[in-house]
Structure 1
């Protein structure tokens, strides 16, 4: 299950259950942060806490350190070499397989001993200068390996290692405060009442249900808070489960943090240039958003019968981050079908992906799951499911003051002079008299109409009553 920092410290044996209870009691009594209570009580030192929070993944120095079998890694190397027209170097295989030189050297020694490859050329006695070539026997074994799986790339990490790291860098260990939420949402205009609800919701690291009329900023709020979550996490490039490979790292979702020391160079001992296991990429915490396109099969492992390996489901890629289900209720499947898929993960903190062979395995379900909808929640889900969602937050229409501030910011962003009298004209004539709700997205949309009109007339855009009249005529539907 996803665990708080206190629970993780207990699991690692750094504090006891009794000490955690004492720290929680002090934290609830005095406020602040739980880790500060643990430190003040002297249960751990700041150095121990820092080492715990900034753990690293040791660099594998030998095949046995990878957690993978020799046969598996040899086949992976042979397939990579086969795609290099049969000729390869130690450095190239290290790059393709994301393994240190020492591990690749051991693999090359194995393939040479088994007469699967031979040295083609060498400018010195060192292995880094050797160009090797697959033998006929090596090519035949590579072709046989391709029949099992076409995957060629970074060596995967074992499932147990992935589950451990996922739990170790849990999103619930992050302690967020009011300063953080104010900073994350400073680009939006949000009332104090809503801010007081959003802070504890995201700080809990649990599920959130945002509901309310369209255009009130639910999606922007969820995305802004998701991107504002601090910290970095290790993301595996691929995972191995019972000999099957699951491709995990997704450049469309995961944003790497460049580590110059981990890029390596052509030196003889790349171990000295690696700060962590290169099979993992250090990234910002992921934020995944899906909408009406979501289907049930997107939440399951996707097996490609031609390539014979898996792609991790979209919500699994959001591990240790935020998963936003936008426009909930507008998917092509019944909401209850979709929600049934989430009941166990939300309640127990674990998920059970299934291989095409029927084998299921367990992984921690660690993410802030945000359901966002402009439909009536009671018509979408039953009370039983709502109980499993920790925080339900109603995002309502903007107040007059908030609407004006949004309008002012939109004008500033577009380098258009803001006129308070024109703003009053807009509110009075097109909102208050029309009994039209103050929707937070309207100022942006109306300004886009003003800009379109100005560009057509080849004039600079201006925030005037005439421009407002023209924009409103094209924006609102009057029957």
Structure 2
């Protein structure tokens, strides 16, 4: 079971069980977060709490600090050097392996002592200017290492370090309030009732079920709130488990935060030149969205038998962030099959990935999981699964006032004058008379028809009754 922040504080010996209980009692009486309650009672200072809640991976200064074996790191360096045509420098290897100079220098000393490499040229006595070359023995060992795994890149971090950071950076510790949700959704038109449901749901850091008719903004809401979650986290470029490498960092999902101090001074072999272990990347909290393309295989470690290393599953890459399962129920697999994969993680807060060797390992399951569907939830899942989803929110059709506001904003975005009389004409003739629901996505779609038609005629788009009738004729299906 994944530990809460309070349990972690007790486990680390920063507060006692009695102090935790007093903080929880204060939190319940006065509201706010547990962190505020702990600092209000003076059990920890704000600085101590921030150091605990937002730890930076310490910079390894020696091989032993990396948590990896010397043999593994030597093989990784030899493979990297082999791909450089056998000649390499300390700065280049430091960059490729994402390791500080001091660690790479220690590795180079070892491979020179083992006659795996030799100095080719050197302009002076500093190790950073030396050009080294693999010996025949070094090339042979590199080729043998390639037979085990083709992985070459940032040195991985041990599973224990990854699990530690995942627990410490929990999405549940983020403090979200009404001001945050109003700010995150201000570009959308949402009623007060729905806002009051969405705020506590995302603030809980737990699973959410958004259901309702299509076009009502479920996906837009989930994405906006996901990207609006504040805070930065550290993500590993790769993870080592049982001698196997799992490639984790994905530039298509993870957005790094530039660290100016690290970038400017990364060439210096000093502990103070790096603010954290370069094997990690400082990123914004991830938001991962998948739809009808999702299969069960995508939720498991993917082993490439040719390269002989793993790719982290899609939901694992959403750790400490938000995972959105859009169009739930329209996947190529049965919904119940898919949901069975989630029952244990949602209930216990842990996941159990498996290596191709059969080895299973445990990691915290820390993400806000959002299930979004326009199908009837009762046709997709049973009561047992719904019970495990903390928040069920019905996103309904827009009210007349909301629909008009969306229409006004769409016109403004397109640079088209908004006419309230034309808006009334649209509602009366194409919605009320047709008994058609007010779908929030319709204003955008109708306006795009108006713009397309105007551009074809080489004239500026206008929000008129004639333009509305033309757009409606092309947009709505009349039987």
Which TM-score band applies after superposition, normalised by the shorter structure?
Answer: over 0.9
Deviations 1:381-430 (A, max 9, x none): 01100000000000000000000001111111111111111111111111
Cα distance in 2, alignment partners of residues 44 and 318 from structure 1: 31
Q: Aligned pairs, how many?
A: 479
| Cross-structure match for 2:263 | 263
| Cross-structure match for 2:69 | 69
Displacement after TM superposition at 1:39 (Å):
1.8
| Cross-structure match for 2:310 | 310
Cα distance in 2, alignment partners of residues 143 and 87 from structure 1: 15
Displacement after TM superposition at 1:11 (Å):
2.7
Q: Note the aligned Cα RMSD (angstroms).
A: 1.1
Question: Is the 1:91–1:128 Cα contact (8 Å) retained in structure 2?
Answer: yes
Question: Is the 2:52–2:168 Cα contact (8 Å) retained in structure 1?
Answer: no
Question: Is the 1:167–1:364 Cα contact (8 Å) retained in structure 2?
Answer: yes
Cα distance in 1, alignment partners of residues 117 and 108 from structure 2: 8
Question: Is the 2:54–2:169 Cα contact (8 Å) retained in structure 1?
Answer: no
Alignment of 1:138-177 (within 5 A): 138-177=138-177
Question: Is the 2:91–2:267 Cα contact (8 Å) retained in structure 1?
Answer: no
SS at match of 1:176: coil
| Cross-structure match for 1:455 | 455
Structure 2: runs of 5 or more not aligned: none
Cα distance in 2, alignment partners of residues 266 and 293 from structure 1: 41
Alignment of 1:74-473 (within 5 A): 74-263=74-263, 267-473=267-473
Cα distance in 1, alignment partners of residues 351 and 267 from structure 2: 43
Deviations 1:289-321 (A, max 9, x none): 000000000000000000000000000000000
Displacement after TM superposition at 1:107 (Å):
0.3
Question: Is the 2:265–2:274 Cα contact (8 Å) retained in structure 1?
Answer: no
Question: Is the 1:264–1:270 Cα contact (8 Å) retained in structure 2?
Answer: no
More displaced 10-residue stretch of structure 1: 9-18 or 293-302 = 9-18
Displacement after TM superposition at 1:269 (Å):
1.8
Question: Is the 1:418–1:463 Cα contact (8 Å) retained in structure 2?
Answer: yes
Deviations 1:256-312 (A, max 9, x none): 000122225575525332100000000000000000000000000000000000000
Deviations 1:116-175 (A, max 9, x none): 000000000110010000000000000000000000000000000000010011011111
Displacement after TM superposition at 1:52 (Å):
2.0
SS at match of 2:342: helix
Per the normalisation by structure 1, the TM-score is 0.98
Displacement after TM superposition at 1:19 (Å):
1.8
CA 1:205 to 1:13, structure 2 compared with 1: closer, same or farther past 3 Å?
same
Question: Is the 2:120–2:133 Cα contact (8 Å) retained in structure 1?
Answer: yes
| Cross-structure match for 2:52 | 52
More displaced 10-residue stretch of structure 1: 24-33 or 82-91 = 24-33
Cα distance in 1, alignment partners of residues 121 and 449 from structure 2: 67
Question: Is the 2:266–2:273 Cα contact (8 Å) retained in structure 1?
Answer: no
Question: Is the 1:128–1:268 Cα contact (8 Å) retained in structure 2?
Answer: no
Displacement after TM superposition at 1:10 (Å):
2.4
| Cross-structure match for 1:7 | 7
Question: Is the 1:101–1:271 Cα contact (8 Å) retained in structure 2?
Answer: no
| Cross-structure match for 1:25 | 25
Displacement after TM superposition at 1:36 (Å):
2.1
Displacement after TM superposition at 1:367 (Å):
0.2
Displacement after TM superposition at 1:2 (Å):
4.0
Question: Is the 2:266–2:274 Cα contact (8 Å) retained in structure 1?
Answer: no
Question: Is the 1:236–1:249 Cα contact (8 Å) retained in structure 2?
Answer: yes
Displacement after TM superposition at 1:350 (Å):
0.4
Deviations 1:179-232 (A, max 9, x none): 111111111111011111101100000000000000000000000000000000
Cα distance in 1, alignment partners of residues 388 and 350 from structure 2: 14
SS at match of 2:58: coil
Cα distance in 2, alignment partners of residues 466 and 17 from structure 1: 71
Displacement after TM superposition at 1:235 (Å):
0.4
CA 1:267 to 1:39, structure 2 compared with 1: closer, same or farther past 3 Å?
closer
Question: Is the 1:350–1:364 Cα contact (8 Å) retained in structure 2?
Answer: yes
SS at match of 1:263: helix
SS at match of 1:328: coil
Question: Is the 1:264–1:274 Cα contact (8 Å) retained in structure 2?
Answer: no
Displacement after TM superposition at 1:53 (Å):
2.9
Displacement after TM superposition at 1:31 (Å):
1.9
Deviations 1:31-63 (A, max 9, x none): 233322222222222221232233221100000
Question: Is the 2:321–2:367 Cα contact (8 Å) retained in structure 1?
Answer: yes
